[in-house]
Amino acid sequence: MHRLDPRTKIVLTFVYILSLFIFENPAVYAVAALFLIIEIILSRIPILYMVKGLKPVAFLLAFTVAVNLLFTGGQELFSFWIFTVTIEGIKRSSYLIGRLIFLVLASNLMTLTTAPVSLTNALEYLMRPLKLFKVPVHEVAMMMSIALRFIPILVDEANKIMKAQMARGADFDSGNIIKKTKSFVPIIIPLFVSAFRRANNLAQAMEARCYNGGEGRTRLNPLKYRRGDVVAYVLLVIYAVLIVLMGCFLFKAPPVAL
């Protein structure tokens, strides 16, 4: 998994997520689950660690389930107070929860096995056709990678400024919403000033090292497809065919629109 070309991983993840949205039937989801489990095993990332990755979206999951469970019309199963639970609701929410979990796991899997640098490189490559439409692909990719480099630095900086203002008696917890919002001004302004200063310095440093846009650049780590990637693409095609077959014919259900 770790050694696959980042382009392969992006395409893989993209097709996988697409498959979750196009079809909605138990067989497809079973295949999708199987596919994901195999991927996780191949990646050698501890399952527990993957499950932990779901934590941040747990609230969203619960909320979606609750809404769909309680507010989907259809055949009534049972009801209490003002809520009615229907068979359709159960179906709908279990699809949704499956879809969300698969989606989060698949994208986590991609980011966990790939360095951000390679991801931006791969995106730059995959988006190249967009150049025809005058999209500045190289610049976008460069922006992404600089952003990735500077986010931790700026988070650190924000933390420092916040503490410095607290040392001057600033209070970020009390008061009403207006007061609270106002209390962030002494953080936001220095943070902006610092971000601009850094941006300026960085631009100079890049210029000093002969940065001149994307034209004529070579790469330390050019993207190269290996045998593993071919295997992965073949598997992907098999998966796609399987899903389409099952989605369209096995249950004779029309594909649900995006």
Partner 1 sequence: MPIVDLKNVTFEYIRRDNEGNVDGITTAVDGVSLKVVPGEFIAVLGANGSGKSTLAKHINALLFPTEGAVYVDGMNTADEDKLLEIRSAAGMIFQNPDDQIIGQIVEEDVAFGPENLGVPTEEIRERVSDSLNAVGMSEYGLRSPDRLSGGQKQRVSIASVIAMKPKCIIMDEPTAMIDPEGRREILETAHRLNKEEKITMILITHYMEEVVDADRVFVMDKGKVAMSGTPAEIFSRVSELQELRLTVPQATGLAYKLKMAGVPIRDGILTGDELVNAIMKLWPVAK
Partner 2 sequence: MKTEKVNELNELNTDIPILEAKHLVFEYRTGAAKPVRAVYDVSFSVWPGEFIGLIGHTGSGKSTLLQLLNALETPASGTVYFKGQDIFEKRYDRKKLRGKVGLVFQYPEHQLFAETVFADVCFGPLNMGVDRKQAELTAYDTIKQVGLEDECFYKSPFDLSGGQKRRAAIAGVLAMKPEVLILDEPTAGLDPKGRDELLDMIASLRDKENMTIILVSHSMEDVARYADRIMVMNEGRLILDDTVSTVFKHRQEIKTAGLSVPEVSEIVAELSAAGLPIRDDIFTVDEAAEEILRVLKEYRVI
Which does residue 132 touch among partner 2, partner 1, none (CB within 5 to 8 A, set by kind)?
Answer: none
The only residue of 26, 53, 116, 190 in contact with partner 1, by rule CB under 8 A: 116
Residue 220 as a binder of partner 1 (CB under 8 A): the answer is yes
Closest CB 7 distance from partner 1, rounded Å: 17
Whole-number Å distance between alpha carbons of 1 and 42: 6
109: tokens are 């899997």
Which does residue 204 touch among partner 1, partner 2, none (CB within 5 to 8 A, set by kind)?
Answer: partner 1
Give the helix/strand (H/E) hosting 27.
Answer: helix 26-43
- DSSP states along 236-249: HHHHHHHHHHIIII
Residue 3 as a binder of partner 1 (CB under 8 A): the answer is no
Which does residue 185 touch among partner 1, partner 2, none (CB within 5 to 8 A, set by kind)?
Answer: partner 2
CA distances from 82 to 66, 70, 75, 76, 94 (A): 14, 9, 16, 13, 22
Which does residue 166 touch among partner 1, partner 2, none (CB within 5 to 8 A, set by kind)?
Answer: partner 2
Query: Helix, strand, coil proportions of the chain in percent (round to 5)?
Result: 70, 5, 25
Site for partner 1 in 146-165 (CB under 8 A): 146, 148-149, 152-153
Q: Which SS3 state, helix, strand or coil, does residue 76 take?
A: strand
Q: Which residues bind partner 1 (CB under 8 A)?
A: 115-117, 145-146, 148-149, 152-153, 197-198, 201-202, 204-212, 216-222
